[in-house]
Amino acid sequence: MSEYVAFDLGASNGRCILGRYDGNRLSMDIIHRFDNAPVELNGHLFWDILSIYANIRNNLIRLGQGDADEIRSIGVDSWGCDFALLDAKGKLVSNPYSYRDSQTAGIIPRLFSRMSQQDIFQITGLQFIEPNTLVQLYAMQLNQDPALKYAATIQHIGDLMHFWLTGIRACEYTNASTSQIMDVQTHRWSPEIIASFGLNPDMFPEIIPAGTLLGKLRPSLLAETGLKGVQIIASATHDTAAAIVSTPVTQKPFGYISSGTWALLGMEVTRPVLKSQCLSLNIANEGGAFGTITLLKNITSLWLIQECRRQWSLEGKTFTWEELSEMALDSKPFLAYLDPDDPVFSRPGNMPGRVQQYCQQTGQLVPQAKEEILRIIFESLAFKYRFVLQSLISLTQEQIAVLHIIGGGSRNVLLNQFTANAIRLPVQAGPSEATALGNILVQMVAMGELSSLADARSLVLQSFSTTIFIPEDVDRWDENYLRFLRVTGLDIPV
């Protein structure tokens, strides 16, 4: 039995997951789950980064106290874009900002005073969204943030954990690709962008490929954990890239949604797509493992449901995820529509009130009941998925036969069915622990236990079950999709 450890850091929780491989099948066990949420301080949102590290360290100690002889390697993955700044001695300058911090509001148009939108896109191939590392750094510049004065090294969240585990400073390719500072063609930091924005070129460590062996734990951690024979691997450090590795593909081309707080809807390609149409559709070329490009769009997704749940909890009403879906089914369908990516929904706050505000401002029925608000969100998410999928098909000129939904959101039966109805295609849901699974699969290839991406996906197919959702009532969904487009002002891709 070979064992691999994945620390999967998400924007709401983190998990320590142990993968066990017996030579034929791979199994996964959640060893520990811990909360992770931004902390508000003086009007800004920060990550409690030392708490994240403490949870990783404590889990490593716990693993070392058990039967750890079979553990071969450890890797950390995290959400993209966010970063920490280290000083010349490798010390943390300040807690990292959360990508939902308000400092980036309205910053994207101001980027273009330094460099044109077309030039930034041609270099990076990236979607323009406020969480991007470049947007955050420029906001810090404009705000004269003193942290920049002391910054000697930038590390994305997963890379920072690897640095604290090993002492090696590097930026893994898949996470670097979310920065809007990396050249998508050369896989190196762009000197043009660095110069145009007055960034310190020495701040950016070497970009290394997914699956790079970093070495052993640093001496103090070795003494604490006893994990002396274990390699630390910079797996596919960006959680989306890791999740896509675990897609149980049986045919290409294929579409996927890595579903959770965000929905990353895309197609896997081998070369970046830098057409002007890609820029106009605001679609990203992010780095994938094993020489792939993840051509995708970031869609605000179950964040809306999560924030509704949080607001109602503050009001004394607590609901499970299953109860929220059941409530939505109790509402009349197609009452109103919203664009989940409208800026009004991007920050924490009273999400039910914002849904009502959006409906009022767009001249629609204003929902009053919780059931109505939930139904509007779920249906609108499915319609937005259809719009983005049509955009990708228009861009690539490739048709897909099935849409894979992976990650935690793949457990949401209601949204899976609504998505199948909206896109008029079967949806294959699972595996749910896609990110940690992909992290482990990249580790297995790096350690020589698997030989390729194709081998990794074959192992997923023989180790984990999935669920198929068949489209229903598609004519009615087609009719209401046109209403969704009119309300949101989205143009049908041609």
Q: What are phi and psi of 370, to 5 degrees?
A: -60, -40
pLDDT tens-digit series, residues 405-418: 999 999 999 999 99
pLDDT at 353 over 60: yes
> Which residues pair with residue 285 across a beta bridge?
295
Mean pLDDT in residue range 350-368: 98
Residue 251: what pLDDT?
A: 80
pLDDT at 492 over 80: no
Q: Is 239 known to be catalytic?
A: yes
Residue 243: what pLDDT?
A: 97
- Name, in order, each residue with C-beta under 8 angstroms of 73's C-beta and a sequence gap of 6 or more: 4, 5, 230, 231, 232, 233, 443, 446, 447
pLDDT tens-digit series, residues 300-317: 999 999 999 999 999 999
Round to whole Å and give the CA distance between 268 and 293: 6
According to CATH, what is the number of the domain 2-239? 3.30.420.40
Residue 270: what pLDDT?
A: 92
Residue 250: what pLDDT?
A: 78
Round to whole Å and give the CA distance between 134 and 218: 31
pTM over 0.85: yes
Residue 494: what pLDDT?
A: 56
pLDDT band at 493 (very low <50, low <70, confident <90, very high): low
Identity of residue 251:
Q
Residue 30: what pLDDT?
A: 96
pLDDT tens-digit series, residues 59-96: 999 999 988 889 999 999 999 999 999 999 999 999 99
Per the structure block, which two tokens stand in for 441? 């699969």
Catalytic option among 145, 239, 339, 341: 239
Round to whole Å and give the CA distance between 289 and 299: 21
**Residue % of the chain over a pLDDT of 70:** 99
Q: Which of 244, 235, 301 is nearest to 267 (CA)?
A: 244
pLDDT at 99 over 80: yes
Q: How far is CA 197 from the centre of its chain?
A: 26
Mean pLDDT in residue range 372-398: 97
Select 247-430+464-494's CATH number: 3.90.1580.10, 3.30.1280.10, 3.30.420.40, 3.40.30.10.
3.30.420.40
pLDDT tens-digit series, residues 458-489: 999 999 999 999 999 999 999 999 999 999 99
Bridge-based pairing of strands 26-35 and 13-21 is: antiparallel
pLDDT at 277 over 70: yes
2-239 and 247-430+464-494 share one fold: yes
Average pLDDT, the chain: 96
- The domain spans of the chain are 2-239, 247-430+464-494
